[in-house]
Amino acid sequence: MGNNYFRFKQFTIDQAGCAMKVTTDASLFGAWVAMHAKQSQRALDIGGGTGLLSLMLAQKNETAIDVIEIEQECFDQMKQNIENSEWKQRIHCVLQDVNEFDSTHNYDIILSNPPFHQHQLKSDQLAINLARHGDELTLELLFKKVNEMIADHGEFFLLVPAYREQETESIAEKNGMHLQKKAPVKQSVYHEAFRIMYAFSKNNDSEIEKAEIIIKDKSDQYTPEFIELLRDYYLFL
């Protein structure tokens, strides 16, 4: 997936200007969010990157979407991708640090595929560091900001590396966000989980939904659950 563009069934992602390209796990997360997200009035995508998650959500949900990106070149690319889509009237792009973002709205849906890694070896390229590393936007700051902006009935969807599982769930509870859905993601039946997809809410009165998702089967083919999630997006499914 290292091309300068990635074509989906209903939109194309140009990604030459973004440090982090379209990935299988991000695509899976976008499809999972779109499937589970209730129809809403307003959504927020924190760390929009190429605009992938916002476009996947817009394809399935009539919500208005604010999408925030901090890095200028990536923001310009994201805005172009959204302007080239059929949902451009519903997606509003914001160039800003989310910690400084002051919305007058409460959001029914908040989603984020944030910088993954903290206190780890960095690139000498600033854009890649912003995309990959969470030293500027820690999970603590992210959950605190989400709690301020999310509606009482809203859901916060989050993608994290599996090694941050316990940390994520602990920080969520500390900030008043309760686990609603959890989906560990495995590359294949032979691998351990490498990502976890979450949904959190301020509500704490429902049973937690748990369902593992495996991308490839024993024959190195996409599994039925992966195909079902990505069928409306990937060209060759």
Domain membership of residue 236 (yes or no) is: no
User: Looking at residue 133, what is its pLDDT?
Assistant: 39
Domain membership of residue 237 (yes or no) is: no
Q: CA–CA separation, 143 vs 200, rounded Å?
A: 10
E-strand stretches of 77-161: 91-95, 107-112, 150-161
Domain membership of residue 24 (yes or no) is: yes
User: Looking at residue 20, what is its pLDDT?
Assistant: 81
Q: CA–CA separation, 29 vs 182, rounded Å?
A: 12
User: Looking at residue 132, what is its pLDDT?
Assistant: 44
Give the pLDDT confidence of 8-22 residue by residue, as tens digits: 999 999 999 888 889
User: Looking at residue 19, what is its pLDDT?
Assistant: 83
**Could you tell me the pTM of the whole model?**
0.91
Domain of residue 86, residue span:
5-230
Domain membership of residue 223 (yes or no) is: yes
Regions in the chain scoring below 70 on pLDDT: 1-3, 117-136
Provide the CATH number for the domain around residue 179. Answer: 3.40.50.150
SS (H, E, C) 114-129: CCCECCCCCCCCHHHH
List the alpha helices (DSSP H) in 17-71: 24-36, 52-60
Give me the phi and psi of 190, to 5 degrees please. Answer: -95, -5
Domain membership of residue 235 (yes or no) is: no
Residue with tokens 């009482």: 152
User: Looking at residue 157, what is its pLDDT?
Assistant: 98
User: Looking at residue 2, what is its pLDDT?
Assistant: 52
- Domain total for the chain? 1
User: Looking at residue 205, what is its pLDDT?
Assistant: 82
Domain membership of residue 53 (yes or no) is: yes
User: Looking at residue 123, what is its pLDDT?
Assistant: 42
Cα–Cα separations (whole angstroms), residue 151 to 105, 180, 213, 219: 9, 15, 28, 44
Domain membership of residue 14 (yes or no) is: yes
Give the pLDDT confidence of 115-152 residue by residue, as tens digits: 875 544 444 544 444 444 345 689 999 999 999 999 99
User: Looking at residue 230, what is its pLDDT?
Assistant: 98
